[in-house]
Amino acid sequence: MTDIILKVNNIFYSVENKKGFNTYESFEILKHISFEIERGSVFGVSGESGSGKSTLAKLLAGIIKPTSGNITTNYKKDWTHSSVKPVQLLFQNDGEILNPFRVVDDVLNESIELRKNKENYNSKNVDDLIKQFDLPLNIKSRKCSQLSGGEQQRVALARIIAVEPEILILDEPFSSQDVESRLNLFNLIKSIKSLGVSIICISHELNILKNLAENILIMFKGEIVESGNTIDIFNNPKHNYTKYLLSAESLKLSYMEIHSFHNNYEQD
Amino acid sequence: MLKASIQTIRLKEKSGNKILLSDLSFSLNSGKIYTILGKNGSGKSTLIKSLTNLLDRRFYEISGQVFWKGKDILSLEDSFLLNIRKNEIRYVFQDLTNSFDPLKKFKYYFDNSGFDRQNISELLDYFLLPDYEHLSNLHPYEVSGGMAQRISLVFALLPIPGLIILDEPTSAIDFTNVNLVTLKLKEMISSGNQSALIVTQDVKFAKEISDEIAFLSNGKLGSFMTTENFLLNPDENLDVFLKSFKELE
């Protein structure tokens, strides 16, 4: 039997939009979402912008609550009396994830303090973290505003890993980075995985997920259109949308294909 | 068509001027798509801004010439320069939502473009954008980054410019849009009178779209080579870049 860390059961999420005076219409952002995540694996979530990927991330992290349905988890450690959550989320890297006025040493120490003295904590200090995340040693005394985009992302990741979460959610970690930084991050994610952390990686780039995730799910307009083993989906995509995404990514679509696809789906 | 020979671009600093880029010499012919590849912070955006004298001379010092149809852009008077920027060399910048005035609706841009509704609507439709009527009433902050990019591209394409310069056209937009942009640019250059210059870090996109590629690193620009030759004979710095790319694929 496989070891499941997180199970999502038929989640719906809707928001209410004000329509007129005192009248509201409900707008469904996520519909019929169900999946399972294996412990210690990398799980990919893909889809075009606006398909509800980031909303799903927030639901999984517990920032927002589903309108209906539930999420069950099976953690190894006891988190009931902990001040931190077992699920941690790294937001899209837009240079604003860290407080620009704080010193790196301070930021990392804070996370370490949060988990210190709890059972099963692998005692770590800031230097260990800096080494683990391949950061220059002098970074400790720098302010977060003095870091490059890639360094900021690494420090933010180090801060998260310091509290030893069981699930790590990455929201578009690869966007706006050059190839070299992408490769570094790619390897970093693999090394975090080897620590036993289960990772959910959200990305619109299927090619990166192909080499990173064991399982993926493809979202379209708030619904899952396809999910399963990554290699199977790549070799044999079943849903038209998945096929469309794959050929869009290799820039092989013709003008007619793009337009007819959009006209077909615009109606609903 | 465009011939640049820039010796140096320097940043003016109190402690002396710092050289950002040096030895930039290349010429662009019509009917081709040129790409400059480079890492983050290698000076790609500075390079393209220097071509139409967009760099603020209070902070930058440029020595060299950029010839456009026989005239040196860098020594032209403002009125001529504005005309070139308006009709002949058009840009699509990277930070698109901010390249529009957030307080003005798109109607303002449509009205001032000097083109009629028919022309604009055709391009809007091509790029899967909302129709003229709907878009006229939107503010730039009400559209997504991908949409802002396509709108910017519509405005760039309208005057049928001789050269269109795109800064990181693939960053932060999804692949359907990248695909559309690719198709449109290829269609555009097929007329033979127009060309495109793209700066990007996206090797895959560069490979797909370019006729010729050059690599920018350590403040120097390599020479433009056909895409095949470029990928076959990488220099040392480029090699690392390409290797990372291959490992990810």
Contact at CB, A253 and B39, closer than 8 angstroms:
no
Kindly identify which residue of chain B lies nearest to residue A94, measuring between CA atoms. Answer: B172
Sign, CA torsion B110/B116/B121/B127: negative
Query: What tokens does A166 get?
Result: 């069981």
Q: At how many degrees (to 10) do helices A149-162 and A179-193 cross?
A: 10
| B203 to A179: CB separation less than 8 angstroms, yes or no | yes
The answer to whether residue A85 scores a pLDDT higher than 50 is yes
DSSP state for residue A36 in the 8-state scheme: E
Instruction: Give residue limits of the domains in chain B.
Output: 29-42+83-248
Amino acid at A78: D
Q: A250 is written with which tokens?
A: 């290799």
Superfamily of the domain at B29-42+83-248? P-loop containing nucleotide triphosphate hydrolases (3.40.50.300)
Mean pLDDT of all residues in A158-183:
86
Which residue do the tokens 């809007």 mark? Answer: B124
- Residue A268 has a pLDDT of 44
Kindly state the average pLDDT of the residues A221-237: 93
B248 touches A: beta carbon within 8 Å: yes
Q: What is the pTM of this model?
A: 0.80
Residue A65 above 70 pLDDT? yes
> What's the pLDDT score for residue A176?
66
User: What is residue A252's predicted lDDT score, i.e. its pLDDT?
Assistant: 83
Q: Pick from B39, B173, B244: which is nearest to A183 by CB?
A: B244
Q: Write down the pLDDT at residue B162.
A: 93
Per-residue confidence at A118, pLDDT binned at 50, 70, 90? Answer: low
Complex ipTM value: 0.72
The whole-number pLDDT of residue B134 equals 92
Give the 3-state secondary structure of residue B35. strand
pLDDT tens figures, A1-36: 688 999 999 999 998 877 778 888 888 899 999 999
| Interchain CB contacts (distance < 8 Å): A and B | 70
Give the Cα separation of A128 and A70 in Å (integer): 38
User: For an interface test with B, which of A46, A51, A53, A178 has the most B Cβ atoms less than 10 Å from its Cβ?
Assistant: A178
- Where residue B243 falls (left for φ over 0; alpha for ψ -120 to 50; beta otherwise) is alpha
- Distance between CA A189 and CA A117 in Å, rounded? 27
Tokens standing for residue A34? 């169900």
- Residue of chain A whose alpha carbon sits nearest to that of B209: A251
Domain boundaries, chain A: 4-232
Task: Give the orientation angle of helix A179-193 with respect to helix B236-248, to 10 degrees.
Answer: 40
Predicted local confidence at residue B214, as pLDDT: 92
Residue A134 binned pLDDT confidence (cut-offs 50, 70, 90) = confident
Q: For residues A248 and A121, which has the higher predicted lDDT (pLDDT)?
A: A248
State which residues of chain B have pLDDT below 50.
Answer: none
How far apart, in whole angstroms, are the C-alpha atoms of residue A229 and residue A233? Answer: 6
- In the prediction, which pLDDT does A234 show? 92
Q: Do B205 and A251 touch (CB under 8 A)?
A: yes
Superfamily of domain A4-232: P-loop containing nucleotide triphosphate hydrolases (3.40.50.300)
Distance from CA of A184 to the nearest CA of B (A): 9
Contact A251, B208 (CB under 8 A): yes
Per the structure block, which two tokens stand in for A252? 């092989």
**Token reading at A247:** 């050929």
* A72 pLDDT more than 70: yes
- In the numeric block, the tokens 């040196």 are attached to B72
Subunit contact A251:B176, Cβ cutoff 8 A: no
pLDDT value at residue A267: 46
Note the pLDDT of residue A42: 95
Summarize pLDDT for B30-80 with one digit per residue, the tens: 999 999 998 877 888 889 999 999 888 888 989 999 999 888 999 989 899
Which position has the token pair 């790294």?
A90
Tokens encoding B152: 């910017």
pLDDT band at A43 (very low <50, low <70, confident <90, very high): very high
Q: For residue B175, give the 3-state DSSP assignment.
A: helix
Strands of chain B (E only): list them.
2-11, 18-28, 33-38, 60-68, 71-72, 89-92, 163-167, 195-200, 212-217, 220-221, 225-226
Least CB-CB distance to A255: which of B183, B240, B247?
B183
How would residue A91 be classed by pLDDT, with cut points 50, 70 and 90?
confident
Per-residue confidence (pLDDT) for residue A133, from 0 to 100: 85
Q: What is the CA radius of gyration of chain B?
A: 18
The owner of tokens 């071509």 is B51
pLDDT of residue A71: 93
